[in-house]
Amino acid sequence: MPKGATASWLRWSSTGTELVVLADCEMTSAGAPVDSCCLFEAHGGRHTWDEDRYE
C-alpha cells in the first residue's frame, strides 16, 4: 500500500452516519495473505490478516 494512502469509511453513531477519509494502516506482515492491513490507521483490535476466516 502506498505510504500516505487513504480510504473512505462510514462512521456510525447513535444519531446517524458520517462519511470520513482516514489514512490507511501501514502495518505489514511477511506471513500475511496480502501485503498490508486493510483497515485504517490506529484502528483497535487485530490487523486484517489476524482475523478468523470462515469458509
Q: Along the 55 residues of the chain, how does pLDDT read in single tens digits?
A: 556 789 999 999 999 999 999 998 888 877 666 667 888 899 988 887 776 655 5
Model confidence, pTM? 0.64
Structure confidence at residue 10 (pLDDT): 95
Structure confidence at residue 34 (pLDDT): 62
* Cα four-point dihedral sign 43, 44, 49, 53: negative
For 22, phi and psi rounded to 5 degrees?
-120, 150
What CA–CA distance (Å, rounded) separates 15 from 6? 25
Structure confidence at residue 19 (pLDDT): 97
For 48, phi and psi rounded to 5 degrees?
-60, -30
| Grid cell listed for 50 | 489476524
Rg (CA), the chain: 13
